[in-house]
Structure 1
Amino acid sequence: MISALIVNYRTPQLLRRCLNSLSGWDEVVVVDNCSGDDSAAMVGAEFNWARLVEADENRGFGAGANLGMVHTTGEVVLLLNPDTWVGPATSPAIHAFFDSHPDAGILGCGLYDPDGLPLISARRFYAPSTVALRRLAPASKTVQDFELLDHTFTHPERVDWVAGSGMAVRRDAFETVGGFDEKFFLYFEDVDLCLRMWLAGFEVWHDRNAPVFHVESRASARSVRPLLWHLGSWRRFERKWAGLGLTSFGQPPEAAETRPKPSDYAVDTTGLTPLRPKRSHEGAIRVGIEASVLLDAPTGVGRSLEGLVKAFAERDDIDPTLIAVSFRKTGRVHRYRTLANTRAVRLPARPMQNLWAHSKLPPAEWLTGKIDVFHGPNYFVPPTASAASVVTVHDIGFVRHPEFHTPTQRALAESLPQSLKRARRIITVSEFTRDEVAEWAGISTDLIDVVPHGVRKLPTEGPRPEGLPDEYLLYAGTLESRKGAEILLGAYSLAVRASSDLPPLVIAGAEGLGASEAIAGSGLDDGKLIRLGRVDDSELAKIYEGASAFVFPSIYEGFGMPPLEAMAEGTPVIATATSSLPEVLGDAALLTEASADSVAEGILRVMGDSALRNDLSSRGVKRASTFTWQRSAELAIESYRKAMET
């Protein structure tokens, strides 16, 4: 049996999500580290199937875990932070691993962020320089080696140490080494435990196929107090294990005859698809990608770049480097270091944009190193010295409908022509946008390559968001005038008047230009209009799955990603027959005119005809399956090659 053990301190909302994901487990124990809030009461009231252990004081994660272990009975115990949750595959993967690896004392689960992006969850032992370089130069070769970025982890591998936020321990091994060293209040308790496991003759492994989702706050990067804790714990660890030479993967100190030799650590990855393959293949295209769009919570353009980068990571014919120019946020680009090379340029973005607009200096190569191609995925490409330039234009709504755009967005009409002139190839995401750009800019379509978006594989392991009704209509994406906010709310109001038992409308996403006015003017109460705000991808999958129909009455689109995502989850789609939507959705959606009356009629028709809903669902799944990021990556690389040959 596998037990789950959560050590909590003042995170009741996150703890609730974690416990919801563990509802089918045989045994769950929660240690509340004297939170002083309503965490313990919440567990007792809502999760009486979980065993609650209340500590008298907060003595840190390690002490809390030791206390909780006494109250568990499983042969294997999964240790979790309250800001994590598990998926359906987690428990079976842990079971299978320990059944087939009798010498393993610890298995580190694969950590993923709420959107399914892999996080660093296994590392080498620390070298003295590593602590400083993790913060000062996170993209350095030293840190990449420390974080095992050259390992594929397509199946379990032995590693030096794994993160305690998703660590499965064999009970007898844990008891043999004496559990966590409680002198480590925060940080390094997991490093220390793994080292003592190795010294006692037990093995430490990592399996990315046992997923644990983690809300990575990176508090130590923003606050002085956690940083001091981290440095203090590192110093304690160094003093405790001074002289043992923990410098390289596979070579912890030999303390037992049964200790595996470094050569035993080699894993044959022939024929497997690595997460981030080595880029030493001859002929691989070295491409720099302007990635500032990834520094904030990704929306449409950011999501498209994420999808492309993930697909690039599966290939050995391209070597991407993500570069972000920003004075404050550049460090966020390094969260993609499991997928690509990353570089952060700590300079003010706006002055750099202005400098590039009026000169050819500095060329992009000064920031990226030697490259063959520089790709600007968001309407802009800087000057280059010799590399070929490619720029992506997603739509020209700022020209066709300036009334729906901010002054900054409208300014693209002035700046985009320069990037089009610099670029050897132009990428658009649909034939519709290709023709729009060619007509507006007066250029030949022969210079434009159509690279449609793929459909994201949303993580399905997440919990169902709170407040979601059993039946509902859905709109997902930024709610704004360009996306038909007024049409959506007006159409739903008309449909409710015609059929009062219509399920409520759920809006999942941020609210943009014109949203507040449209909501206020709709007259809909909270019972009929449910606003979730931004949601994680893991929550979005559940939202799509549960919707009776997806309504997307956009006025102008360059592509149309949300309705395709809904189709992929089997949700019937109602959309307007405008711009790129007929091209992208084909006959798999019920297309209407861009008016409240027409969309309302579509809603009533779909909701009143179960056979039509089933037909749209099956057509939608088939249609969505033709849009893959692997195909997008193939087409983008073809465009890069054309640019290099021009």
Structure 2
Amino acid sequence: MGPNTAAPAGACADVAIVILNWNGAKFLHRFLPGVVAHADGARVIVADNASTDNSVELLARDFPTVELLLLDRNWGFCEGYNQALAQVDSPFFVLLNSDVEVTLGWLRPLRGLLEANPRIAAVQPKILSQIDPTSFEYAGAGGGYLDRLAYPFCRGRLFDTLEKDLGQYDDPRPVAWATGACLMVRRTAWQALGGLEPAFFAHMEEIDFCWRLQNAGHEVWYHGGSAVQHVGGGTLHKTNPRKTYLNFRNGLALLYKNAAPGELYGPMFQRLVLDGVAGLRFLLSGQLGNFWAVLRAHFSFYGSFGYWQKKRRAARPHLRVRDRAGVYDGSLVWAYFGKGKRKFSELGLK
């Protein structure tokens, strides 16, 4: 299908909303009508990762105004977006998961923030649970943070504990990372950094991308004046051993690739110890699949160490001591499991 030439030239005509799809016909049927209705003049594009369900037929039949990019195979989340966005020339992209329900007026605040501040290269909206819209959702919540060991958390979500949305995180602010479930990015910054890290395949790739953005001198923001609702777990549930493997492997690679020289080796050693503790907990609780996933994650990281070394060497001129936004100088593991802190406000961060 060709471009939507009939689309009105709205306030967001220079934005392309790009949904990467793989066998997600049920989500497209459910949520794509809302994306089209609330596009505000933006292009709506579905990049299909060689689906084997009826996604392509559904799009051709029910969504004739939506552009379709057909990828030749399932490239995974990271390289799938890299392949798709190389074919899109809009100044701004929105990487949008197929299991996201957008709301009226969600797009303009994000676009307005990037227009107002050229230093901002990426921004996310408030991410609420589609199942329970009164609660924040795991993947992004009220903006992403990292502790000193590069464990990710959010305003509104520490580990698996989710807060209710009471308006406490409605303010726009710089953060350490913005969710890949709904991420608006400047095309120039995306191209300069080469997009997402393909070796990640999926999971934590947006954290790596946002860390690289900040190392390159850009800012990453959260805008609570825009909200979307995310189903979550649409591809892999968070207890799936495949997801456990990707999170542990990518967590090590994330820290090794991006940390400044003076902030790498101590945190890296502590991560290895804590990963061992996590693996032991999986074993003692009978979660053998997740236990083996942690071991495989470490073997994969060590086995690919030459690749990660090349990535770190290439990034070395831009690696910065921790002056980034959204970094907690303590240990999230200790705060959560040792001190019982369950809310972002209890960490002492502003």
**What is the TM-score normalised by the length of structure 1?**
0.36
Unmatched segments (≥5 aa) in structure 1: 248-252, 267-333, 342-646
Distance in 1 between residues matched to 2:343 and 2:109, nearest whole Å: 22
1:187 to 192, 203, 206: 203
Residues 27 and 72 in structure 1, CA contact (< 8 A), matched pair in contact too: no
Give per-residue Cα distances to partners, 1:558-603, cap 9 Å, x unaligned: xxxxxxxxxxxxxxxxxxxxxxxxxxxxxxxxxxxxxxxxxxxxxx
Matches within 5 A, 1:220-369: 220-241=237-258, 244=261, 245=263, 255=318
Could you tell me which residue of structure 2 aligns to residue 430 of structure 1? none
Determine if the alignment matches structure 1 residue 15 to structure 2 residue 28.
yes
**Shift of residue 2 of structure 1?**
1.5
Distance in 1 between residues matched to 2:90 and 2:322, nearest whole Å: 27
Gap change, CA 1:236 and 1:59, over 3 Å in 2? farther
Distance in 2 between residues matched to 1:195 and 1:130, nearest whole Å: 13
Residues 4 and 27 in structure 1, CA contact (< 8 A), matched pair in contact too: yes
Distance in 1 between residues matched to 2:78 and 2:22, nearest whole Å: 13
Residues 29 and 72 in structure 1, CA contact (< 8 A), matched pair in contact too: no
Gap change, CA 1:27 and 1:129, over 3 Å in 2? closer
Could you tell me which residue of structure 1 aligns to residue 97 of structure 2? 81
Could you tell me which residue of structure 1 aligns to residue 305 of structure 2? none
Determine if the alignment matches structure 1 residue 108 to structure 2 residue 124.
yes
The DSSP-based 3-state class of the residue aligned with 1:3 is strand
Matches within 5 A, 1:490-569: none
2:144 to 105, 108, 123: 123
The DSSP-based 3-state class of the residue aligned with 2:82 is helix
Distance in 2 between residues matched to 1:241 and 1:130, nearest whole Å: 13
Distance in 1 between residues matched to 2:323 and 2:344, nearest whole Å: 30
Determine if the alignment matches structure 1 residue 49 to structure 2 residue 80.
no
Distance in 2 between residues matched to 1:18 and 1:164, nearest whole Å: 17
RMSD of aligned alpha carbons: 3.6
Distance in 1 between residues matched to 2:56 and 2:175, nearest whole Å: 36
Distance in 1 between residues matched to 2:144 and 2:326, nearest whole Å: 14
The DSSP-based 3-state class of the residue aligned with 1:161 is coil
Residues 3 and 76 in structure 1, CA contact (< 8 A), matched pair in contact too: yes
The DSSP-based 3-state class of the residue aligned with 1:183 is helix
Give per-residue Cα distances to partners, 1:61-89, cap 9 Å, x unaligned: 11111122133332211111111121112
Distance in 1 between residues matched to 2:241 and 2:46, nearest whole Å: 29
Give per-residue Cα distances to partners, 1:101-159, cap 9 Å, x unaligned: 11100001211112322225122235548479xxxx947xxx99xx9x9x943221111
| Percent of pairs with identical residues | 22
Could you tell me which residue of structure 1 aligns to residue 330 of structure 2? none
Give per-residue Cα distances to partners, 1:378-401, cap 9 Å, x unaligned: xxxxxxxxxxxxxxxxxxxxxxxx
**Shift of residue 261 of structure 1?**
5.4
2:170 to 154, 158, 165: 154
Gap change, CA 1:173 and 1:235, over 3 Å in 2? same
Residues 15 and 92 in structure 2, CA contact (< 8 A), matched pair in contact too: yes
Distance in 2 between residues matched to 1:265 and 1:215, nearest whole Å: 25
Could you tell me which residue of structure 2 aligns to residue 166 of structure 1? 182
Give per-residue Cα distances to partners, 1:276-299, cap 9 Å, x unaligned: xxxxxxxxxxxxxxxxxxxxxxxx
The one-letter amino acid paired with 1:95 is R
Gap change, CA 1:96 and 1:131, over 3 Å in 2? closer
Give per-residue Cα distances to partners, 1:264-283, cap 9 Å, x unaligned: 889xxxxxxxxxxxxxxxxx
Gap change, CA 1:233 and 1:339, over 3 Å in 2? closer
Gap change, CA 1:118 and 1:254, over 3 Å in 2? farther
Number of aligned residue pairs: 254
Gap change, CA 1:123 and 1:38, over 3 Å in 2? same
Unmatched segments (≥5 aa) in structure 2: 1-13, 268-315, 328-339
Residues 78 and 169 in structure 1, CA contact (< 8 A), matched pair in contact too: yes
1:33 to 49, 52, 58: 49
Distance in 2 between residues matched to 1:91 and 1:129, nearest whole Å: 30
The DSSP-based 3-state class of the residue aligned with 1:23 is helix
| Greater relative CO, 1 or 2 (CA 8 Å, sep 6+) | 2
Matches within 5 A, 1:424-439: none
Determine if the alignment matches structure 1 residue 70 to structure 2 residue 86.
yes
Gap change, CA 1:40 and 1:176, over 3 Å in 2? same
Residues 124 and 223 in structure 2, CA contact (< 8 A), matched pair in contact too: yes
Residues 157 and 265 in structure 1, CA contact (< 8 A), matched pair in contact too: no
The one-letter amino acid paired with 2:146 is F
**Shift of residue 178 of structure 1?**
1.2
Distance in 1 between residues matched to 2:159 and 2:326, nearest whole Å: 25
Residues 106 and 205 in structure 1, CA contact (< 8 A), matched pair in contact too: yes
**Shift of residue 164 of structure 1?**
0.4
Gap change, CA 1:94 and 1:226, over 3 Å in 2? same
Could you tell me which residue of structure 1 aligns to residue 108 of structure 2? 92
Give per-residue Cα distances to partners, 1:172-219, cap 9 Å, x unaligned: 111111111111101121111101111211110011221121002384
Distance in 1 between residues matched to 2:208 and 2:185, nearest whole Å: 14
Gap change, CA 1:97 and 1:179, over 3 Å in 2? same
Residues 199 and 254 in structure 1, CA contact (< 8 A), matched pair in contact too: no
The one-letter amino acid paired with 1:199 is N
Give per-residue Cα distances to partners, 1:413-442, cap 9 Å, x unaligned: xxxxxxxxxxxxxxxxxxxxxxxxxxxxxx
Distance in 2 between residues matched to 1:221 and 1:42, nearest whole Å: 28
Gap change, CA 1:36 and 1:166, over 3 Å in 2? same
The one-letter amino acid paired with 2:136 is P
Could you tell me which residue of structure 2 aligns to residue 514 of structure 1? none
Larger Rg: 1
